[in-house]
Chains A and B, each alone.
Chain A
Amino acid sequence: MGAGHAHALYVHEHSPVHRLAPEAKIVAAFAFVFAVAVTPREAIWAFAIHGTALVAVTAIAGLRVRFVAARMLAILPFIAFAFLIPFVASGERVELWGMTVSREGLWGAWNILAKASLGAMTSILLAATTEIPDILRGMGRLKVPPVLTAIASFMIRYLELIAGELGRMRTAMTARGYDPRWLWQARPIAASAGALFVRSYERGERVYDAMLARGYRGVMPDLDQHRAGASEWALAALLPLAAILTSAAAIITT
């Protein structure tokens, strides 16, 4: 608890993108990704425009392209399996670098690759410019049921607490000369996990009781007065609007 807090992807900056109200950013991210998702895969130029728009947002947010690229590289191995699609897909075969692959499969792989990369970049930009409590606050303002945001905020808070507790339990175990690391030692590890679960729960229960005693009624008071005004919504709408226009043009021309 005394240690630093884990900001999964957040990068501290003072940029117009960081300052935007979280609810506007969440809606903009969803709208943009949906516009990308309906873009016809044959319109390669449209994906180039989508990508350029995201690079522009990266620049405005004061994020280094290298940071975003590194984050995307971390998820690329998973997307890269889309490269298998041309080999296993059916349909007309074409020659490519001495191999025969499915033409439909190539388009399918490109489709997943392009949309998944743009989607991932959007999520990274949202997460890099919005702190997790702000994301939860934004979700609350977007009328996500309060019980969902309450559980989510418990989850976020306890993630780190549990990791810390696990570290202390391991230290205690090691200090007593026991260091389970093999398969046949699974039982003590499972027992630790179970003990950790019950311990975390009982701590959560005490905290929750204390919250109830102090007047908690299932919703945290929203002390942040900063809400998206008309101008902020308009600013946030620029990105999805550009994408929707591009996507519409692509649909018409293909």
Chain B
Amino acid sequence: MHAPDGFLTAGAAVATGAVSAGTIGVALRQAKHHLKEKQVPLAGITAAFIFAAQMFNFPVAGGTTGHLMGGALAAVLLGPAVGAIVVTIVVVIQALAFADGGLTALGYNVLNMAIVTSFGGYAVFRLFRRVLPSSTPGVVASTGLAAGISVVLSAMTFSILWLFGASAPVPFDTVFASMVGIHLVIGIGEGVISAMVIGAVLASRPDLVYGVRDLDPADLAGRKPITTRTFVIAGVLVALLFATVVSQFAVDNPDGLEWVAEETGFIDSAEEHAFGDFIFADYATAGITNEPLSLAIAGIAGTLVTLAVGWGIFAAVRQRKEDEPADQTVG
């Protein structure tokens, strides 16, 4: 979601810039005693990984992009303050040296991609840590769920900022539905990748992970870092929850195309707009006459697809685990 220049009004750019600079300043002060020694290379490596991960991006309506964020992963590895600093560095270097994201957009880009994902993601991680068992699978599952949710939180913040600093009168609902919708899918990828990376790091160097400082390393090191049933069950629950929430939202607010159809009168005056007749009229009818049913089916189908993909991955993971030797030396 690297927003370009001019995406929000100048006032919103300045306001978010002040908020982001202030937050990063506080984070720097908070992180000072952590960052002194060994954390600098770890932060640099994490930044490099996140940089690489953010290169895979694709366009989202309204002139912005969707991609992996990495903020929650950085927060679990390094703590929320250093995590936010790391992602901020990634975003700033992308804007300065790679022309990715506007210079005046840095304020809101840092807020969305670094601050919300790191602090929000870490809060969610702590929440899940409290619920799930204090074991490697529990930590891995918490990381995955927190990472997935952090991406959605970021998309929500993005939409809320649009509410305050919109540079064009696109309704909040449209922005919210498209941003949050896309980022639900991205969130699944983000969650799986973050969980797997944390799992692999926990397997060999649990001392590097900030998020498990309260646990006994010996307790963690002895186990295979596998994303188990806990992860699957919790993931399915969260997916269902999201599907429900978002499809409810979709019921209340037609998407962009339907909205155009209604607003411009394509639906009523089909004879004036030749092609409105077969695209929009059909689309609107299909969407509106059996609205609850079609949405329910869409929601169930979406969750089933997610489940199937997830099940495929985890089944493969379990098989692999049995096939592979127990010990993998690293480094």
Contact = CB atoms under 8 A, between A and B. Distances in A.
Contacts of B196: 186-187, 190-191, 193-194
Contacts of A204: 41-42, 44-45
Interface string B103-129: 111000000000000000000000000
Interface in A225-249: none
Interface in A6-53: 8-9, 26, 29-30, 33-34, 36-38
Contacts of B263: 90, 93
Interface in B43-99: 43-45, 47-49, 51-52, 59-65, 85-86, 88-90, 92-93, 95-99
B309 interface: yes
Contacts of A190: 193, 196-197, 199-200
Contacts of A126: 96
B200 A201 contact: no
A159 B63 contact: no
B103 A127 contact: no
Interface string B249-280: 00000001001100111000000010000000
B104 A33 contact: yes
Contact of A119 (B4, B62, B317): B4
A127 B45 CA distance: 22
B48 A158 contact: yes
A37 B174 CA distance: 24
Given A111-B168, A159-B52, A184-B312, A145 B104 contact: no
Interface in A139-164: 139, 145, 147-148, 150-159, 162-163
- Main secondary structure on A side of the interface with B: helix
Residue among A88, A190, A191 with the highest chain B CB neighbour number at 10 A = A88
Interface in B312-327: 312-313, 315-317, 320-321
B38 A208 contact: yes
A130 B30 CA distance: 32
A108 B168 contact: yes
A199 B331 contact: yes
A81 B47 contact: no
Given A81-B63, A162-B52, A207 B41 contact: yes
B45 A188 contact: no
Contact of A104 (B13, B44, B168, B256): B168
Contact of B44 (A85, A154, A193): A154
Nearest to A192: B200
B297 interface: no
Contact of A71 (B47, B89, B99, B197): B99
Contacts of B256: 84, 87-88
Residue among A79, A122, A218 with the highest chain B CB neighbour number at 10 A = A79
Contacts of B90: 155
Given A9-B98, A162-B49, A194-B196, A151 B64 contact: no
A104 B86 contact: no
Given A78-B65, A147-B40, A89 B197 contact: no
Given A81-B61, A132-B97, A116 B170 contact: no
Contacts of A185: 316
A67 interface: no
Contact of B4 (A34, A79, A186, A194): A79
B59 to A, nearest CB: 5
Interface string A154-180: 111111001100000000000000000
Given A37-B10, A81-B60, A184-B313, A205 B205 contact: no
The 4 closest A-B pairs by CB, nearest first: A194-B200, A108-B168, A154-B44, A115-B6
Interface of B: 2, 4-7, 10, 13, 28, 35, 38, 40-45, 47-49, 51-52, 59-65, 85-86, 88-90, 92-93, 95-100, 102-105, 166-171, 174, 192-193, 196-197, 199-201, 203-205, 208, 256, 259-260, 263-265, 273, 309, 312-313, 315-317, 320-321, 328, 330-331
Given A33-B104, A34-B10, A195-B330, 12 more contacts: A77-B59, A79-B4, A85-B170, A111-B167, A116-B4, A150-B44, A155-B44, A155-B89, A158-B44, A163-B52, A183-B309, A195-B204
17 contacts: A78-B4, A78-B64, A104-B168, A115-B102, A116-B4, A119-B4, A119-B104, A124-B99, A127-B98, A130-B97, A147-B85, A151-B86, A159-B51, A187-B321, A194-B204, A204-B44, A205-B38
Interface of A: 8-9, 26, 29-30, 33-34, 36-38, 71, 75, 77-82, 84-85, 87-91, 93, 98-100, 102, 104-105, 107-109, 111-116, 118-120, 122-124, 126-127, 130, 132, 135, 139, 145, 147-148, 150-159, 162-163, 183-188, 190-191, 193-195, 197-202, 204-205, 207-208, 218
